[in-house]
Amino acid sequence: MTGWLVIAGLGPGADALVTPEVVTALAEATDLVGYLPYVRRVAARPGLTRHESDNRDELARARHALEMAMEGRRVAIVSSGDPGVFAMAAAVFEAVETGPMAWRGLDVRVLPGVTAMLAAAALAGAPLGHDFCAINLSDNLKPWSTVERRLRLAVEADFAIAIYNPRSAARPEGMSRALALLREACEPGRVLVFARAVSTPEEAVRVVALADAAAEMADMRTVVLVGSSATRVIAREGAPFVYTPRAAPA
């Protein structure tokens, strides 16, 4: 039997946002690998072995998946959102590059998913309608000085910015520091969108001006979108529309 490995994105939460390509691969898989809450999003069925793990050792998890694929198993590693955005796909390729040459001959495919910032942007309107960038606020994998530098330069370049992993119990000060940096560099009316648990039953979206933003508005299930200087809010009854115009003035 020929084994394969797919690194599949489950989207932000709702079943309707899982791509048909991912649904098909999951139906053909013999083994499911991933962080526990993501593995649990895939229904159990006979013939599918679920390998749940904690979120710590991504490389070890990737190697385990590659070994199983070498043995002829059909393995799916699942991530939330898109697997290439702050998730497992890069860890798999790091394992391939540093692993046995035979791994390079494996059928390895990345199946994209709807990443959190796009689902959040769609809910708010079109805040990422012009140039934008994404930054992971977690300093597990890089020093905080790098986070700060990238944030500062992104603001200077006037990108809209999607902030992933804004806050955790272990690292509560990241978002406060980011807000302090934004307050130094941006006008108080700069638009922020705090989008929590998008496309799940707990979904909550807040649109606030930078002056009114607080770190407590974000948790680990929140993605924060920071508008550029051109981002607009259209007030109306209920949630406003937020958008960034397609063109920047010359």
Q: Quickly tell me which residue has 């809910």 as its tokens.
A: 123
Interaction of residue 195 with ligand SAH, rule CB under 6 A: yes
Q: For ligand SAH, which residue of 39, 79, 108, 178 counts as binding (CB under 6 A)?
A: 79
DSSP 53-118: E-SS-HHHHHHHHHHHHHTT-EEEEEESB-TTSSSHHHHHHHHHHHS-GGGGGSEEEEE----HHH
DSSP state of 190: -
Least CB distance from residue 161 to ligand SAH, whole Å? Answer: 13
Question: Does residue 220 touch ligand SAH according to CB under 6 A?
Answer: yes
Quote the distance between the C-alpha of residue 48 and its chain's center.
26
Complex with ligand SAH: residue 67 or 219, whichever CB lies closer: 219
**Closest CA relative to residue 88, chosen from 96, 97, 79, 80:** 79
CB of 187 to ligand SAH, least distance (A): 25
Q: Which is nearer to ligand SAH, 70 or 197 (CB)?
A: 197
Minimum CB separation from ligand SAH for residue 208, in Å? 16
Tokens 């799916």 correspond to what residue? 76
Binding ligand SAH (rule: CB under 6 A), the pick from 17, 35, 58, 222 is 222
Confirm or reject binding of residue 228 to ligand SAH (CB under 6 A): no
- Which residue in the set 103, 132, 159, 164 belongs to the binding site for ligand SAH (CB under 6 A)? 164
Please give the helix or strand (H or E) that residue 28 lies within, else none. helix 20-28
Question: For binding to ligand SAH (CB under 6 A), which residues are involved?
Answer: 12-13, 79-82, 85-87, 115-116, 120, 164-166, 195-200, 220-223
